[in-house]
Structures are given as structure tokens and as C-alpha cells.
Amino acid sequence: MPRYKVVCEYEGTRFSGWQVQKNARTVQGELIGAAKNIFATDKFELYGSGRTDAGVHALEQVFHLDVETVLAPHIIKLKLNDSLPADICILDVQKTSKQFHARHDAIERTYLYQISKRRTAFGKRYVWWIKDELNIQAMQKAAQFFKGMHDFRSFTADDPDHKSTKVEITTISVIEEGDLILISISGSHFLWNMIRRMIGMLVEIGRGKQTPDIIPQLLKKQSDLPASFTAPPSGLYLASVRYEKSPKKHVQSLLNIQ
């Protein structure tokens, strides 16, 4: 059965995440429904590079699709987009090796989080608006403690007894762009709620309610503190998924909030 590498984007506000769930609207569920409609069969596999939580967006989610069809990749793209709702868009379809696996072959994932320093009428669903003035320098200093291989058990809802909570963060940056604060995080993989808890702690440090040295303490000893400051999903995006030989992409804001 041929395998296709598919890249899509989605606006996650009205989805209960990526993965199929009973009695819930999910991105994977909508894609499966569209594929059944196009290929007139349920004999296919659709496997994503990873899950995103309810309300989280994707600028570039990758999945592989195994299906028997005579349709060319560009026709598959057109037909999928015609069958999908407006909040999901197929960006690219390419025939690929049967050995390619969307999740297992990914070597790095990058997420973007957008914080707005002002109220916005148009970007409410795509940012976390914070009224307090944030100390960017303190947030930048704290962010660097996350780099490298660490145990993120304090930053996840995953059970460390059933799943390794060690993750390597390859790059992390905190920059200002107009009235936005953009936080970009790249790593080998990410745990459930991990990024939102990291963002929440960085914001508490920016508010002056915690100091940057709290981060290494939380990485050394398990704590429930980060869970109390979990950032909302509205500002979070899966920005890119990198595979061997693919270049690292520069991540930038979707909004122009000045």
C-alpha cells in the first residue's frame, strides 16, 4: 500500500485535540472522515507526528497516510481540502517511502507560544493576553535553564512511573515583537501539558512572583507548583516537525499586534 507524507495546519480552538476520541471533535477524526469520503474505503492508516491538546493550534502538523489510490498527490491535496472544514487545511502531499514514519522519524519538534501585552479584538483566540508588565530579561534568563536533557516530571501530567519524563530541549528563545512576546521551544519530543507549564512558570518569573533560579530547582525535584500556573492553550502552536536532512525553520508570529 503506498504511503504519503501529508502536512497540514489547523486552528485548534474548536477541537478536542489531535487524537480521535469518542463523542468529541478532533483533527484526526475530521481527517479520517474526509479520507473515507475521498477514497470510498476505511482501509487506510492515518498516523500523526504527535498529539496536540484541546485548543492548541498547528502551523505544521505532519502525518503519514497509507492508502491504495490512483489519485496523484496534488489531487489528493485538492480533494482533502474540499472535504475538510475551514479550520483544517492541507498544505502538502508527497508520495514517500514505506519506511517513513511521521512520529518515529521526527528528530525535532518546535512549538511557538504567543503572549499579547495588550487586549486584542482580532487575536484573542491566538494569544494569551497578560495585563501585568513582564520582565523579559528575567524570562530570558530563566528559559536558558531548560536547555539540555532534564527530567520534566514537575512540568507534565504524564505519570513518570509509566513513561519516561526525560526530554532534551535543543533551543529556547524569548523575544519581543511589537506587543507580542514570542516564546519558541524546540526539543526531541514533549510531554502532556509540558510546554504550557513551562510557559506558565516563565510568566510568573516575568511578573516578579518567582525568580529564575526556581527553574533548576523544579528540574531537580518533583513539584506541583508548575501545574498551578499552566498557560492557556490559545497561545500555543505546533510550529514545525523536523526530519533528517530537512532544514531548521525560523518561527515567527502570525499576528501583527503593534
Distances (CA, A) of 150 to 28, 164, 165, 197: 31, 11, 8, 15
Kindly name the residue from 53, 105, 179, 213 that is annotated as catalytic: 53
Could you confirm whether 53 is annotated as catalytic? Answer: yes
Q: Using CA atoms, how far apart are residues 76 and 90, in angstroms rounded to an integer?
A: 9
Q: C-alpha 89: how far from its chain's center?
A: 16
CA distance 205 to 134: 8
Give Cα separations from 245 to 105, 107, 221, 248 (angstroms): 11, 10, 37, 9
Residue 76: φ, ψ to 5°: -60, -45
Residues 170 and 198 sit within 8 Å (Cβ to Cβ): no
Pairing of strands 236-243, 57-66: parallel
Angle at 25 between CA 19 and CA 30, to 5 degrees: 75
* Active site amino acids: 53
